[in-house]
Amino acid sequence: MSTLTAPIEAPPANPGRPAYRVTGKRVLSSEWAKLWSLRSTWITLGLGLLFLVAFGLIASSRYKSGIGSGHMDPDFADSTAVSLSLFGTNFAQLALGVLGVLVMAGEYSTGMIRSTMAAVPRRLPVLWAKAAVFGLVTLVVGTLGAFITFGFGSGIVSGTPAAMSLTHAGVVRSLLGAGLYLGLVGVIGTALGALLRSVAGGISVLVGALMLIPGLVSLLPSSWRGDISPYLPSNAGASMFALTHDSTTLSPTAGLLVFLGWTALALAGAAYRLVRRDV
């Protein structure tokens, strides 16, 4: 006597559940959404733009009043419309660099980094996406601010020895260089946030590298200072948007390459720690 058995059908795997894949585009989209969901992003970007524009216009107005009164400040004697318009770059870089640190280190302070790495187990795409998104945003903000400030600043100093227009040689290159410099500062800030995993630590290193170390190097003997100073991050970056150069500064191309090297070094350190250390 034989027994008939019905074939057993295997239940469908995860019915109705779509299969998601982690792709570069989706990681970029996620980081873009996270960036603009933070109130600090809007505030700090606004401050960076305000510093760039406000200090540039203040410098232009001070130069104009000095010319009119006949009592020119020696620090402004050789200024041009470009240098006056970009006077606020040193202040804007702090705001944008600090925001870059917050973009990455802020996730460690809140614990959100665990969810981020659970969604993207390979880790490095998160760093590349954050650096790319924030670098692009700061590049646009910096470039826009530089051209806006020059547009108003050149009108203020019109009719003075500092007067220039966009058609003058090197003006557009300087304004674009300032925007690129601020964009790379944002990337360095993001890298420092991933490397140090501390908001306070990242900001301290950023301020030290961009503002304190150049002052300390100025205390060295002149023979050493001339060999070291042009290659510091802030000095190399400044040569990217300087209109004129001398024997003590780098050319715009050399300054860009040196600053790209510093940016790559910060990203490499951040990538190494992100891969080798647990979150």
Give, for all 279 residues of the chain, the pLDDT tens digit. Answer: 445 555 555 555 555 545 567 788 889 999 999 999 988 899 999 999 999 999 999 999 988 888 777 676 676 778 889 999 999 999 999 999 999 999 999 998 888 888 888 888 888 999 999 999 999 999 999 999 999 999 999 999 888 888 888 989 889 999 999 999 999 999 999 999 999 999 999 999 999 999 898 888 888 887 788 888 999 999 999 999 998 887 788 999 999 999 999 999 999 999 999 998 887
CA distance 45 to 69: 36
Cα distances (Å, whole numbers) of residue 176 to 86, 142, 181 = 11, 9, 9
CA distance 194 to 101: 8
Calculate what percentage of the chain has a pLDDT beyond 90.
58
> What does pTM read for this prediction?
0.89
